[in-house]
């Protein structure tokens, strides 16, 4: 037995059990999902797609991948689903590869405004390096101004528009995004990585009627394994046909394999099938709605205490903790066993390395059983840590350690 690794895993399991986890992109996958991830499916090579593999011995794997596809299609309401992308970043790159040529114009929300790196972040990313990237911003209140976006799109005429976010605390108006993309004949990609669980559970409007392609990670609010999916909508298929592309689904599949990837991770795909099955339930719908209720309670409680909070209408919020102080506060919270990430706030006067905010989300602790009353307590704990940081007295470390013990004792009440 590799003692070193297993001891470290044991410690990480303890950290996950004893802490308050508020990073909005994290969650706790079920035992069953983890069992499939660690199963014999990891041993099998299966380049290709069900029924068309380059390796023998894929009869059972074909059935598993087909189940994942059918379950996901039903839950999301898409016409076609590729479940092979290794993660969210490859999925978005694969869509770019399928629909655009190097040098084409693409449009996405700025990273500093809550967009994702793969939506055209300039210079250092695949999407920013190989395409001409036009980026839109949020207003000082943190919201997208759809009229402004419409004007930008008319001026710059992108081939692809991304509607998707990683740190945006409001409902995305996919209908408006659809109208904007239609006005210039652009492809519209909804990257619902963060909100997929809310969409499936009915706690956020679905983009499917308004967009051409849907991408999503599967390990955030969906509570599945680390992976991603690419869906093709009815609107996408008829849009493609309108300019002579009769095989949009194949184009997407070919961009995934052999375009960007080799053998699919069938253990992940099996675990995804399980996660889809778990999400196809009343219980999951309740979970999705509880995430939003919990987030609202936490945001309201922090506002009552005088914090400048952006949001929330979904699972996350941004808290302005003072110019360039986000990292300092996130580190202090970690010492108290509360895990968040530092993040830029809208029109931040700091920088990505020295942001002025923290990003907080409720999916993970809602999975652990937290309800509104628990998030009122979380607001108190966050406030106490921020007060300690502001006082910055000699006993700061000792005071944070006291909160840490309090958190650990409290977390024993949750399985």
Catalytic residues: 45, 47, 191, 217, 220, 226
Q: Does 217 bind ligand PLP (CB under 6 A)?
A: yes
Instruction: Tell me whether the omega of the peptide bond preceding residue 312 falls within 30 degrees of 0, making it cis.
Output: yes
Q: Using CA atoms, how far apart are residues 74 and 64, in angstroms rounded to an integer?
A: 16
Q: By C-alpha distance, which of 77, 99, 71 is closest to 235?
A: 77
65 within 8 A of 73, measured Cβ to Cβ: no
Give kind and range of the element (H or E) at residue 205: none
For ligand PLP, the binding residue among 73, 110, 116, 204 (CB under 6 A) is 116
| Residue nearer to ligand PLP on the CB measure, 92 or 367 | 92
Residue 387 phi, psi (nearest 5): -65, -40
The radius of gyration of the chain's CA atoms, rounded to the nearest angstrom, is 22
Joined tokens for residue 249 = 């689904």
Residue 374, interface with ligand PLP (CB under 6 A)? Answer: no
What kind and span of H or E run contains 388?
helix 372-391
Least distance in Å: CB of 194 to ligand PLP? 5
Nearer to ligand PLP among residue 24 and residue 350 (C-beta): 24
If the CB atoms of residues 25 and 367 are measured against ligand PLP, the closer one turns out to be 25
Among 89, 206, 267, 297, binds ligand PLP (CB under 6 A): 89
H helices of 255-281, in order, are 266-279
Give the span between the Cα atoms of 118 and 124, in whole angstroms: 10
User: If binding is defined by CB under 6 A, does position 294 make contact with ligand PLP?
Assistant: no
The residues in 90-109 that bind ligand PLP, with binding defined as CB under 6 A, are: 92
Helix axes 396-411, 326-335, angle to 10 degrees: 60
Interface positions, 131-170, toward ligand PLP (CB under 6 A): 164-166
- Quick note: the x/- pattern for ligand PLP over 175-214, rule CB under 6 A, is ----------------x-xx--------------------
Binding track, positions 63-82, relative to ligand PLP; x by CB under 6 A: --------------------
**What is the contact surface with ligand PLP in residues (CB under 6 A)?**
25, 87-89, 92, 116, 118, 164-166, 191, 193-194, 217
């Amino acid at each position: 037995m590799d003692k070193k690794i297993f001891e470290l895993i044991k410690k990480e399991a303890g950290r996950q059990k004893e802490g308050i986890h508020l990073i909005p992109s994290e969650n706790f996958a079920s035992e069953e999902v983890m069992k499939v991830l660690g199963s014999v499916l990891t041993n099998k090579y299966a380049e290709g797609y069900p029924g068309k593999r380059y390796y023998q011995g894929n009869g059972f794997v074909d059935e598993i991948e087909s189940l994942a596809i059918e379950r996901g299609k039903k839950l999301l309401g898409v016409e076609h689903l590729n479940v092979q992308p290794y993660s969210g970043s490859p999925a978005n790159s694969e869509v770019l590869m399928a629909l655009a040529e190097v040098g084409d114009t693409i449009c996405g929300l700025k990273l500093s405004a809550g967009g994702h790196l793969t939506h055209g972040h300039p210079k250092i990313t695949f999407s920013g390096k190989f395409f001409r990237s036009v980026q839109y911003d949020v207003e000082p209140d943190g919201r997208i101004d759809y009229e402004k976006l419409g004007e930008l799109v008319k001026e710059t005429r992108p081939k692809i528009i991304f509607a998707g976010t990683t740190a945006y605390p409001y409902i995305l108006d996919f209908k408006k995004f659809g109208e904007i993309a239609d006005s210039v004949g652009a492809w519209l990609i909804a990257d619902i990585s963060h909100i997929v669980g809310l969409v499936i559970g009915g706690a956020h409007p679905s983009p499917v009627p308004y967009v051409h392609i849907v991408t999503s990670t599967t390990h955030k609010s969906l509570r599945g394994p680390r992976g991603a999916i690419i869906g093709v909508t009815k609107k996408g298929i008829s849009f493609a046909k309108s300019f002579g592309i009769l095989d949009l689904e194949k184009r997407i599949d070919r961009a995934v394999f052999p375009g960007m990837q080799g053998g699919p991770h069938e253990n992940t795909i099996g675990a995804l099938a399980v996660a889809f099955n778990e999400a196809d339930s009343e219980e999951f719908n309740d979970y999705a709605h509880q995430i939003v209720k919990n987030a609202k309670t936490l945001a309201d409680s922090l506002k009552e205490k005088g914090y400048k909070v952006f949001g929330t209408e979904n699972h996350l919020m941004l808290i302005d903790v003072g110019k360039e102080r986000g990292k300092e506060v996130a580190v202090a919270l970690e010492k108290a066993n509360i895990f968040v990430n530092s993040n830029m706030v809208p029109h931040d006067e700091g920088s990505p390395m020295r942001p002025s905010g923290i990003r907080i989300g409720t999916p993970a602790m809602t999975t652990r059983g937290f309800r509104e009353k628990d998030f009122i307590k979380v607001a108190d704990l966050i406030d106490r840590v921020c007060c300690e940081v502001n006082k910055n007295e000699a006993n700061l470390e000792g005071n944070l350690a006291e909160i840490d013990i309090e958190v650990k004792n409290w977390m024993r009440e949750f399985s």
